Amino acid sequence: MNQLEFVKLHGNGNDFILIDELNRERIPEDAKSEASRILCHRNFGIGGDGVLFLVPSEKADIGMRLLQPDGSEAEMCGNGIRCLAKHAWESGYVGESFSVETLAGVIPIHVRMDGNRFWARVEMGIPRFERSEIPAEGEGLFLKVPIHGFEVSAVNTGVPHAVIFVDDLDLPVERMAPKIRHSSCFPEGANVNFVRHGDHLEVRTFERGVEAETLSCGTGSVAAAAVARRLGLVGDSVEVRTRGGPLLISFVGEKAFMEGPAVTVCRGVVSDEILQTLQ
């Protein structure tokens, strides 16, 4: 493996290591899972909530893959796709409107500068509430189902999400969420979102694959808004405040859109010492 360049970006504090493989593979396929474990480690690696791979696509303008800190591959990531879009746009690979192929499908994106801040509007598709599409056990919609003392609703917004409305977000999320994340109700597991409803939505998210709370989750913010809308708590547009910053979630018909920023933190080269462990 030759010198490995990376870009570190974040979307509302949800941080990623981006490896640009648009023109050639940089990390062999059979090493990508272990590489994500090593690179994402916050003490022994670069540190991040995942490794984004910018790859070619036959179905869209570009492609995105996301390998998580536990080595698993996620279908989609709302904050991650904005980070990937920023790099692709600034690198001249795409214009202001383009599409990204993910494991969850082809995602249309429009980017712009809001003053000196990069901003992306992502078409997130139609949230899927049917249990077979989440996936979740049973039939019909998964709304206000009692699990471990909570009323849990679930939806797939690119990945499966459990949504729980609470009056107080001062919760031990990393102690409480794993029981729901690993519930037998969700055969592929689920991200877990605790949500407080008021003039806006406040969300704290425990992410599968990261196996910890993250500062922000794009698909989780869409899930919270979609469930709140389905329950009649919000209308077609709502601000979702995560611990890392706000996102604007809106709906046109049943299709969801997410708008938010992305920031480039740094660019660098992986050292030879670490590179040798990736081969």
Give me the amino acid identity at 133: E
User: Is position 40 annotated as part of the catalytic site?
Assistant: no
Give me the amino acid identity at 95: G
Catalytic residue among 77, 83, 185, 266: 77
Residue that has been written with the tokens 């979740």 in this structure: 136
Q: Which residues contact 19 (CB under 8 A, 6 or more apart)?
A: 4, 5, 6, 26, 27, 51, 52, 53, 54
User: Is position 83 annotated as part of the catalytic site?
Assistant: no
d(CA 26, CA 5): 9
Catalytic residue among 40, 83, 185, 217: 217
**What does DSSP assign to residue 141?**
B
d(CA 32, CA 13): 23
d(CA 209, CA 49): 9
d(CA 83, CA 168): 31
Closest CA to 128 of 262, 36, 230: 230
Closest CA to 224 of 194, 246, 199: 194
d(CA 213, CA 173): 7
Active-site residue list: 77, 217
